[in-house]
Amino acid sequence: MTNTRPTLIESRQSIISFAKDLPNLCSLIGLACTVMAIYYSIIGNYYAAMIGMVWAVAFDWADGLIARTMKERTGDESSFGGQLDVLIDILSYGAAPAILLLSVGSFSPFYLVGAFLMLAASALRLSYFSTFGLTDDSKYTGLALDNNSLAIVFIFLFEQWLSAGAFAVFLYVSCVCLAILNISSIKTPKLSGSPKMVYCLAAYTITITLIYGWKMI
């Protein structure tokens, strides 16, 4: 009698099938926004980069909100989504700000230290969260990484009032401070879990988009 039971590998979903999962699709759209932010940072169109960065946060929050409402989502889809989210986070909140900092600093070797600190802090914080999760009172240990992008797009509003050199130093110091807060022991609430904060992020995202969109005209 032939054993027709599928093997473990045969019963698994294909890689591309996970891209059809709505939360994962949101994550990938957020990744596209991050790629846009990186591209425009490199070519020096910082206003467009700011729009990409803030929308990356919006889609990052959206994937979690959608995932929590999908009761029929399988364990594999949830696990895959969690891994995907972590990998995209290090690009969105570590690599993108690091490349932005290097570009604003005219890719001077002096800015490599700040860029490394942003990436290292992101990697350490994400690894810590993946290992230990939230604290008992449902708070993060260290400043959540999405705050990096939200802070940076606000900081860039002051770019027009400072000289290029002064703003580059200001951004450098700000990024280093954010990196320190990312790996600190401070406790911060999970803002994405609050409906009020979701509305605040939506308003912030639209406002930032309109401001920088107007500046590009």
What burial letters (b/e) apply to 15-30, b meaning 16+ CB within 10 Å? Answer: eeebeebbbbbbbbbb
Angle between helices 112-132 and 75-90 (to 10 degrees): 160
DSSP 126: H
Q: How many whole angstroms separate alpha carbon 90 and alpha carbon 81? A: 15
DSSP run (H or E) holding 32: helix 22-43
Q: How many whole angstroms separate alpha carbon 147 and alpha carbon 57? A: 9
- Residue identified by tokens 């993946």 is 130
pLDDT at 8: 47
9: pLDDT strictly greater than 70: no
pLDDT digits 0-9 by tens, 23-47? 889 999 999 999 999 999 999 999 9
pLDDT digits 0-9 by tens, 72-121? 777 787 888 889 999 999 999 999 999 999 999 999 999 999 999 999 99
165: pLDDT strictly greater than 50: yes
10: pLDDT strictly greater than 70: no
Angle CA 145–146–151, to nearest 5: 100
CB 55 within 8 A of CB 204: no
Fold exhibited by the domain 21-216: Four Helix Bundle (Hemerythrin (Met), subunit A) (1.20.120)
